[in-house]
Structure 1
Amino acid sequence: MPTTRPERLALTHATVVSRGRVEPDRTVVIDDDRIAAVVPAASGDVVRGARIVDVGGRIVTPGLIDLHVHGAAGYGFDDADRATVTTVLRHLAAAGVTSVQLSLVSAPVDVLAARVAELSGLVDGPPADAARVLGVHLEGPFLAAAQCGAHDPAVLLPPSPRDVDVLLEHADTLRMITLAPELPGAVEATRRLAGAGVVVAAGHSDATAGQLAAAADAGLSHVTHLWSGQSTTRREGPWRIPGLLEGALAAADLTAEVIADGRHLPPELLEIARRCVGDRLVVVSDGTAGTGMPAGYRYRLATVECVVGDGVGMVAGADAFGGSTSTLPRMLAHLHDDLGWPLAEVVAAATSRPASVAGVSGRRGAVVAGMDADLAIFDPGFRPWATVLRGRWLPAPPSGGPL
C-alpha cells in the first residue's frame, strides 16, 4: 500500500540514471514531494530523520513520461469514465510511468472537445498513487485518409477555422495535437494552435518534406511515431520527392517519437532514427486497452476494432497495427538489453526528452535536488520494483508490476 502522505525518504545504494549519467552507490533524499539531495551513499548527516530504503544497487531513474498512450489494462481513454481512467493511471504508475498525456483517437471535433473537457479535471489531479496527467493529446481528426492506420477514415477531415476555435476553448487541457501538414488549412491551424501553447505534431500524413517544413515554419515542432502512418520518398518522372519521413529525419530541430516495442519497427529502423534524430528522439508506448491483456483480447480505438496479437495490437481483419500492447519499461528493455543502446541514452528518451517536449523539464525528468519526487526503481530488464510518486513510496505488486 502507498504511504498516505509524503514523507522524508532516503533511497540508499541506488544506481542513479539521469541527465546522461549513470552514478552508482548514491543516496536520493526526498522531503515531502521534492527531491532534497542526491549524494554519495556514505553521506550520513543528510539522511537524518528519514525513512531509509536500501534499494540494493537497483536502477533509480526519473519517473517515466509517456507522451502518447491511449489506455491500458482493458480500458481506453476515449470513453472510460473518471474512475476507470484513474484505474489505468494506477496501473501505469505501478510500472514506473509517472506522467502521461492522455491520447484520444480521431472522432468528430465536437465529440473530441467534449471529451477533453471531461478529462480536464484529471490534469495533475488524480489520486496520489495514480500517474500525473500532463494534458490531452489528440491524434486526429486532421489526418490523411491514405495514412489512417487504426483511425476511422470516415471521421477524418481538414481543419477549419471553426474546428480550431472549438479546440482552443480547451487549450489549458489540450497539450498536443497530431495532424497531417498537407491538408487544406493545416498550416494556419498549426500557427494558431502552436501560438496558444499546444504542441503540434506531424503524423498520419502524406506530406512531402517541403510541406512538413512549411508547417514547421508555422510552429509545428514534433513528429508522431516515425515510420507509422507516414509518407516516404516517391518519384515524379526522374525526380525523387522526399516524404514526411525523410523530412523528419533530416530536420535539425524537430523532436520525434518511436514505438520501440520490437514489433512496430525492426532494429535497423530504430538505429536510423537514433542516428538521425539523436538527443531529440523520444520513446512512446502508443499503448492501448490491449496493454497487459492476453493474445486474442479485443478492444476498440473509438470505432475501430482491434485485437491483441503476438506482442502488438492489430486492426481486426486488416494488415495494420492497432497501437501497441507494451508499457515504456518493456520498450526500454528492448532498446538496452536487446539492441545494446547505452543505459543513460534509453532512460533519457523516456524521461528528460519527453519532459522537454511537454514543457515540464523544470520540474520533472531528472533526479536532482529541487525536482518533483517522481522516481522509478527497476530490477534488471527494467522490471518495476517500486515507484515514488509525489513523494509517496509505491512498492510494485508481488508479480513485479501489472503490465
Structure 2
Amino acid sequence: MTAKAERWALVNGEFLLPDGIRRDVAVMIEGETVGAVVDAADRATLGGVPILDLGGRLATPGLIDLHVHGGFGYAFDRIDELGTEPSVPAVLRRLARSGVTSAQVSLVSAPVPQLCARLAQLAVQDTARVDGAQFLGVHLEGPFLAVAQCGAHDPAALCDPAPADVTALLRHRDLIRMVTLAPELPGAIDAVTRFASAGIVVAAGHSAAVVDDLMAAQAAGLRHVTHLWSGQSTTQRHGAWRVPGLLEAALASTGLTAEVIADGRHLPPHLLEIARRCLGERLVVVSDGTPGTGMPRGYTYQLGAVQCEVGDGVGMVVGADAFGGSTATLPRMLRHLHDELGWPVAEAVATVTSRPAAVAGLGDRKGAVAAGMDADLAVFGEGFRPWGTVLRGRWLAADDMDDHLDHPSGRTTA
C-alpha cells in the first residue's frame, strides 16, 4: 500500500543532507516535493501532520539508475517477458521497493528497425504508475558498437552509425535520453553531433577507440563513458609507441563523466579505487541490471539474442568467459562500496544519487534531500538493506515490510 497523505513528515532518522548526515531534523513532505527540512525538536514546525518514525535508520536521496536492462525475470527489450504484465512497469515497481526512485531503461543492441519498433512500443507502455520508479527515458546501448568489444552484445546486431539509421532513431528523440556508441566507427563523429544536438547524452562504450577518437567525439558533444573496464580498449603499441586506449583516455579526461558496475564481481577493489581517484565527483555507479537480477543461481535469460545465466553473484554469457551484465541492485552496490571497501557514506551514496542526476540533467530536481526537490528518498537498515521508499511523496514499504504510515493520524511520536 502507499501513503495518501499530502503533508507528512519523516523523523528520527539519519538523514543524508547536502551538508552531511543530520539526526536532529525532520523532513517535511508536501505533495510530491520536499517542503522543508526543519528542527525535529520544534514540534510547532511539524504542524500536527502524520509522522513516520524511521527508528534511527539511514535516509538518503532516492537512488537513480542510468543503466539497467531489466530484472526479476523481465527484459526491457522483450514484451511481456513472463506473460503477466509489461516488463517496464513490472521492473520499475520492484526497483522502487528497493530504494531506486528513477531509472533509465537500457536496450541492448538489435537491428535499427527492431529498436525503433521497441521504442514505439515503450512510448505507449504505462510507465507512470504511482508505485514504480520514475521512467527517465531510454538508454540505447548499441547497436553502433565495436565487434571486438561486443561483450554480451550479439555481434550480428552491430553496425556502423549510417546517417539513415541515426535519422530513424532520432524520430524517437523524445524517448531516447542516452546513446552508447564506439567513437572510432565510420560515421560516429557525425552521429555524436546529431544525437547531442537533439539533447541526448552520448556515451563511449564497447569500443576499440584510442585517445584521439575519444577527444574528437568529446569535441562533437560526447559527455559520458559507459562502464569503465567493461568492453573497452586499453593501451596499444604502435611500434615503440604506446597509445592510450578508451580506458586510459577516459580516466585522464577532463569534463567527461563515467560509470562503473560496483557489484564486487565486474571490477576488483583496486580498479574501483583507480576510477575513484581519477574521476572524483565525475564517477557514477550503475547496476547494469539484467533479467537475472533477483533470480536464483542457474536461472537463464536473454540479452537480445545472447543467452546468459545467473552465476555467483553476476550474469555470465553461456558458453563464454564473459559477463552477461549484473544481477545486483544499487543497494547491494552501496553495501559493497561502504561496508566492504570503506568508502564514506556520503561519497558512496552520491555515486547513485546526485551524480547520475547531474548526468541526466536533473540535478535541479533530484539527487538531494532539500526543500524544493522531488520527494524521493530511500530508507535503509543496516548494510543498506531497503526498509522503505518515499516515491514522489508517497510511502512505499520494502517488499518484506508493512506500510508504516497510517493516514490520516499517522504514526506519531511522543
Instruction: Sort the TM-score into its range (normalised by shorter chain).
Output: over 0.9
Which residue number in structure 2 is paired with residue 234 of structure 1?
A: 236
**How many Å apart are 1:320 and its aligned residue?**
0.3
Residue correspondence of structure 1 range 202-241 to structure 2 within 5 A: 202-241=204-243
Larger mean CA deviation between 326-335 and 22-31 belongs to 22-31
Partner of 1:69: 68
Distance of 1:397 and 1:170 partners within structure 2 = 34
| Alignment match of 2:93 (pick from 78, 90, 93) | 90
Q: Which residue of 2 aligns with 1:357?
A: 359
Q: Aligned to 1:240, what secondary structure does the other structure show?
A: strand
Once the two structures are superposed, the pairs formed by residues 284-363 of structure 1 within 5 Å of their partners are 284-363=286-365
Distance 2:88 2:223 in 1: 28
3-state SS of paired residue (1:117): helix
Residue of structure 2 equivalent to 1:272: 274
**2:156 aligned with 1:157:** no
Question: Does residue 109 of structure 1 match 2:112?
Answer: yes
Partner of 1:382: 384
Amino acid at match of 1:179: L
2:57 is the alignment partner of 1:55: no
Q: Displacement of 1:43 after TM fit?
A: 2.4
Residue 369 of structure 2 corresponds to which residue in structure 1? 367
Q: Secondary structure at 2:166's aligned position in 1?
A: helix
1:6 deviation in Å? Answer: 4.9
Distance 1:161 1:87, change over 3 A: same
Q: Secondary structure at the match of 1:183?
A: coil
Which amino acid in the other structure matches residue 191 of structure 1? Answer: T
TM-score by length of 2: 0.94
- Correspondence for 2:2: 2
Among 120, 123, 128, the alignment partner of 2:123 is 120
Secondary structure in 1 matching 2:316: strand
Deviates more, 1:225-234 or 1:82-91: 82-91
Distance, in Å, in 1 between the alignment partners of 2:366 and 2:329 is 19
Residues 20, 273 of structure 1: CA spacing in aligned structure 2 closer, same or farther, 3 A cutoff? farther
| Mapped pair 1:16 → 2:20 | no
Other structure's SS at 1:159 match:
coil
Q: RMSD in angstroms over aligned alpha carbons?
A: 1.3
CA distance in 2, matches of 1:378, 1:277: 27
Distance of 2:385 and 2:5 partners within structure 1:
24
Secondary structure at the aligned position of 2:355 is classed as helix
In structure 2, what residue type is equivalent to 1:360?
A: L
TM-score, normalization by structure 1: 0.97
| Structure 2 letter corresponding to 1:307 | E
Tell me the alpha carbon deviations over residues 74-115 of structure 1, each in whole angstroms, 9 at most, x when there is no partner: 111001346332111111000000100000000011111121
Q: Give the distance between the partners of 1:94 and 1:30, measured in 2 at CA.
A: 19
Moved over 4 A (4+): none
> For residues 399 and 296 of structure 1, what CA distance do their matches in structure 2 show?
28
Deviation at 1:20, TM superposition (A): 5.7
CA contact (8 A) 1:18 1:347 kept: no
Can you list the C-alpha shifts for 1:51-86, whole angstroms capped at 9, x where unaligned?
Answer: 101101211111100000000101110013463321
Which digits, 9 at most, give the CA deviation of each residue in 1:228-262, with x for residues without a partner? 00000011111001000000000011000000000
Distance in 2 between residues matched to 1:43 and 1:105, nearest whole Å? 52
CA distance in 1, matches of 2:19, 2:351: 10
Aligned counterparts of 2:379 and 2:247: Cα–Cα separation in 1: 35
Bigger shift: residues 76-85 or 297-306: 76-85
2: CA distance between counterparts of 1:399 and 1:23? 25
| Counterpart secondary structure, 2:184 | coil
Equivalence map 1:143-182=2 (5 Å): 143-182=145-184
Percent of paired sites with the same residue? 64
Deviation at 1:399, TM superposition (A): 6.7
3-state secondary structure, aligned to 2:13: strand
Give me the whole-angstrom Cα distance separating, in 1, the residues matched to 2:390 and 2:272. 30
Query: What amino acid is the match of 2:227?
Result: H
User: What is the CA deviation profile of residues 270-321 of structure 1, one whole-angstrom value per residue up to 9, with x for unaligned ones?
Assistant: 0000000100000000000000101000000011000000000000010000
Match for residue 409 of structure 2?
none
Structure 2 CA distance for aligned equivalents of residues 19 and 271 of structure 1: 23
Q: Closer, same or farther in 2 for the Cα pair 1:317/1:20, shift >3 Å?
A: farther
CA distance in structure 1 between the aligned counterparts of 2:179 and 2:384, rounded to whole angstroms: 30
AA at the equivalent of 1:320: A
- Could you say which residue in structure 2 is the equivalent of 1:41? 40
Aligned amino acid, residue 80 of structure 1: I
Describe the superposition over 1:353-387 as per-residue Cα deviations: whole angstroms up to 9, x where unpaired: 00011111111111001111111000111100000
Separation in 2, partners of 1:322, 1:171: 28
The corresponding residue for 1:129 is 131
Deviation at 1:122, TM superposition (A): 5.2
Find the residue that maps to 1:210 and give its secondary structure. helix
Deviation at 1:129, TM superposition (A): 0.5
SS state of the match for residue 202, structure 2? strand
Counterpart of 2:397 in structure 1 is: 395
3-state SS of 1:257 partner:
strand
Q: Which runs of 5+ in 2 are unaligned?
A: 403-414
Which whole-Å CA distance do the structure 2 matches of 1:83 and 1:160 have between them? 31
Q: Name 2:284's counterpart in structure 1.
A: 282
Q: Tell me which amino acid in the other structure corresponds to 1:85.
A: V
**Secondary structure of the structure 2 residue equivalent to 1:381:** helix
Confirm or deny: 8 A CA contact 2:65 2:286 kept in the other structure: yes
For 2:107 and 2:41, how far apart are their aligned partners in 1? 47
